[in-house]
Amino acid sequence: MNKSSLLQVRTRFAPKVLFLAISCLFTHHALATEPDAVELSAISVTGNPLGLSANALAVPVSTLNGSELSFRREGTLGDTLNSIPGVAATHFGPNASRPVIRGLDAERVRIMQNGVGILDASSLSFDHAVTIDPLIIEQIDVVRGPAALLYGGSAVGGVVNATDNRIPKESLNGVTGRVEGSIGGADSQNNLAGVVDAGTNAIAIHADAYTRKTSDLDLNGYAVSSRKARADGSLRENKGKLVNSSASGDGGAIGASFIFENGYLGASYSGFRNNYGTVAEEAVRADMRSDRVDVATEFRELGTLVNRVKARMAYTDYQHQEIEDGAVGTTFKNEGVEGSIELGHEKIGNIEGVLGFQFQNTDFEALGDEAFVPPVSTTSKALYVYEELPIDAFKLSFGGRVEHTSQDAAAWAKAANAQSNRFNAYSYALGGVYTFTPNWSVATNFSHNERAPSYFELYADGAHLATGQYEVGNASFSKERSNGLDAQLRWKAGKNTFSFGAYYTRFSSFLGLLETGVNDVDSGLPIAQFSALSATFKGLEAEGKFNLIDHLDLTVRGDYVRATNRDNGDALPRITPLRLGTGLRYEYNRIGARLDVLHAFAQNRTAENELKTDGYTDVTAMVSYKLPITKFNFELFAKAKNLLNQEIREHSSFLKDISPAGERSILLGARADF
């Protein structure tokens, strides 16, 4: 057996081996010592390198974990985070969806796993799925607004960091874990996930595995909207079913750490497999795989000028094939490594902070019918500093970042068009949190952000069938520049919390994909050109939780964003409309119940050649019951979606007029924690 075949065998059976390992750990649970619960801290690990709670941060951060994450968990990362204030989803069908933060998506939203970027191709095209499955995630942090200071220019819109325990950071005596399974829903889901952590004082081991399978999505009506049918004569066929929307996927990970008195050193391997229909093309399926190796370490309380050292690195080998009628049409590959080293220094007076170095090297390649971007090697290196200074009731935060990025497309077969570009980007931020009473505080943050253009913004030149356009880049682009101002008023009293915020971001150079009004001669597709323009994004966000009576809470939320091309005054495309939501949550003894209502208003402010979108009201409910078992927690749950059975079309979706959300459905499941 050759090396390639051996790798395929190992890859194919890796999830099954992990499930077997989990089963063995279940079998031997009775022999373990009394388990100590392993729970990731609710403290945000993303918005601030000093590890502070969300209320202490100058930037707005939302954290999902525990029961809240279980309730929101969907098949994709984007749909899981959709409806968080300020966050929408690209929703290219039910299988590919990236988060949209404050109207910004693609290269302006940084997606990370355990603090290291995911090196897939999801930002290149809306039909490419994110290589993170929410089934095994324990916590998700969402930074709304510019975070380029700490995470690079691709975080100018925000950051999403999915955290798991694949590299254990704390000691553990015994075995703990969770198993969760569910069936049903509008796409007839069959999901199963298991997570196990085991160890002694010095060594901790982690294993997880998951599998999911779905059928074509059931719809309330036609996939094609009546508005699109009237606009271009599209046929309204396949009533009640979203053709080619089924999916199957599995994956897992195994990791281990040596735990020291003041830190840890660990590594993990994870595999991700996903095969799904692309919806936009009925005969095309995407077959995706990603293999990733992570290494991380941290040493704390060193007692010197440098009192903490933290390092993490990940190597990723990604491949995505688009298969039509059994034949591979296009193959996308991305291989690379990303990492960072962060040094925390002792207080200098009252100033506390970190110095960091971050790097990334990737080789991207597209081969086949839809290879509209050439092979590109990208290298980036950055230095950053972040400092905090408390002054009585006021805490000041400030810092800066310098980043060098090189894009090399010299390997492009079209030798005459071979290009290479170099960029130096500079970002800085100044923020503060002022606590003027024990219950009230105000947070503000001003930032200047610069982003190097992505490889597809520079070098795209070809038909992109997922978007139905012939996309053309511009290798003469300079950096994208923006200034942002964010302010939040926050209130907290016991279990009651409320925040209201406003933001304004102005791009002096915004790189957008705009239609030219001309069709490509060969493909017949409309030509869309990446162009530099002046743009503004401004909006409002609100979120609150109030305890009405014992065991019953009321939640409220809302957001609004307005994005404008300042060169001509037109609206920018795919901007989410005003959304308002409320909900009730009840928990008492073994019973839990919740009801959530989200109303999205009609979006009538549209870009040129963009159709309007009707409003909708999405009602979701969930009930759960914990069985009276003393050895571990075992819970049954039922989740109902789209209870009003409305036609829900997300305006932020490129496919909103051919791919709505599913019809009214019920998902049944069970989970156990031990």
Out of 26-35, 186-195, 204-213, 255-264, pick the least confident.
26-35
Contact 168, 186 (CB under 8 A): no
Average pLDDT, the chain: 89
- pLDDT above 70 (res 111): yes
Question: In the predicted model, what is the mean pLDDT of residues 142-165?
Answer: 86
Integer Cα distance of 64 and 162 in angstroms: 10
Query: H or E stretch including 465?
Result: none
The residue segments making up the domain with residue 270 are 3-673
Could you report the per-residue pLDDT of 236-252, keeping only the tens digit for each?
988 999 999 999 999 99
Question: In the predicted model, what is the mean pLDDT of residues 62-91?
Answer: 91
Token pair in block for residue 336? 């690379």
What pLDDT, on the 0 to 100 scale, is given for residue 124? 87
Query: H or E stretch including 69?
Result: helix 66-72
Instruction: List the end-to-end C-alpha distance of the chain, in Å, as a whole number.
Output: 41
Report CA-CA distances (Å) from 620 to 260, 490, 595, 662.
45, 27, 6, 13
What pLDDT, on the 0 to 100 scale, is given for residue 70? 85
Integer Cα distance of 107 and 97 in angstroms: 14
Integer Cα distance of 288 and 291 in angstroms: 10
The total number of structural domains in the chain stands at 1
Tokens 């969770």 correspond to 178
- pLDDT above 60 (res 419): yes
CA-wise closest residue to 143 among 233, 46, 32: 46
Integer Cα distance of 612 and 32 in angstroms: 59
Confidence of residue 411 (pLDDT cuts 50, 70, 90): low
- pLDDT above 80 (res 38): no
Could you report the per-residue pLDDT of 275-334, keeping only the tens digit for each?
999 998 888 999 999 999 999 999 998 988 999 999 999 999 999 999 988 899 899 999
How many CB atoms within 10 Å of residue 638? 15
Contact 442, 434 (CB under 8 A): yes
How many CB atoms within 10 Å of residue 628? 8
Looking up residue 24, the CATH number of its domain turns out to be 2.40.170.20
Query: H or E stretch including 190?
Result: strand 189-199
Strands 174-184, 189-199: pairing is: antiparallel
Out of 3-7, 74-78, 617-621, pick the least confident.
3-7
- pLDDT above 90 (res 656): yes
Could you report the per-residue pLDDT of 422-444, keeping only the tens digit for each?
999 999 999 999 999 999 999 99
Estimate to the nearest angstrom the gap between the alpha carbon of 219 and the chain centroid: 26
Question: In the predicted model, what is the mean pLDDT of residues 538-558?
Answer: 96
- pLDDT above 50 (res 553): yes
3-state secondary structure of 486: strand
What pLDDT, on the 0 to 100 scale, is given for residue 7? 36
Question: In the predicted model, what is the mean pLDDT of residues 364-387?
Answer: 91
Could you report the per-residue pLDDT of 490-519, keeping only the tens digit for each?
999 988 999 999 999 999 999 998 888 889
Estimate to the nearest angstrom the gap between the alpha carbon of 389 and the chain centroid: 31
What pLDDT, on the 0 to 100 scale, is given for residue 52? 67
Q: Which runs of E-coded beta strand occur in 79-165?
A: 87-89, 99-101, 109-113, 116-117, 139-144, 158-163
HEC string of 191-247 equals EEEEEEEEECCCEEEEEEEEEEEECCEECCCCCCCHHHHHHHCCCCCCCCEECCCCE
Q: Which runs of E-coded beta strand occur in 369-439?
A: 376-391, 394-408, 420-435
pTM of the complete model: 0.90
- pLDDT above 60 (res 169): yes
- pLDDT above 80 (res 73): yes
Integer Cα distance of 645 and 507 in angstroms: 40
Out of 206-220, 259-273, 460-474, 494-508, pick the least confident.
460-474
SS3 content of the chain, % helix, strand, coil (to 5): 10, 55, 35
- pLDDT above 50 (res 30): no
Q: Which amino acid is at 310?
A: K
Integer Cα distance of 401 and 463 in angstroms: 36
What pLDDT, on the 0 to 100 scale, is given for residue 33? 36
Question: In the predicted model, what is the mean pLDDT of residues 344-373?
Answer: 91
Question: In the predicted model, what is the mean pLDDT of residues 195-216?
Answer: 95
What pLDDT, on the 0 to 100 scale, is given for residue 66? 84
Write out the DSSP string of 503-524. EEEEEEEEEEEEEEEEE-TTT-
Confidence of residue 45 (pLDDT cuts 50, 70, 90): low
Question: In the predicted model, what is the mean pLDDT of residues 449-469?
Answer: 88
Q: Which amino acid is at 7?
A: L
Residue 596 or residue 14, greater confidence: 596
What pLDDT, on the 0 to 100 scale, is given for residue 56? 72
Could you report the per-residue pLDDT of 623-651, keeping only the tens digit for each?
999 999 888 899 999 999 999 999 999 99
Write out the DSSP string of 245-284. --EEEEEEEEEEEEEETTEEEEEEEEEEEEEEE-SSSTTE
Contact 496, 546 (CB under 8 A): yes
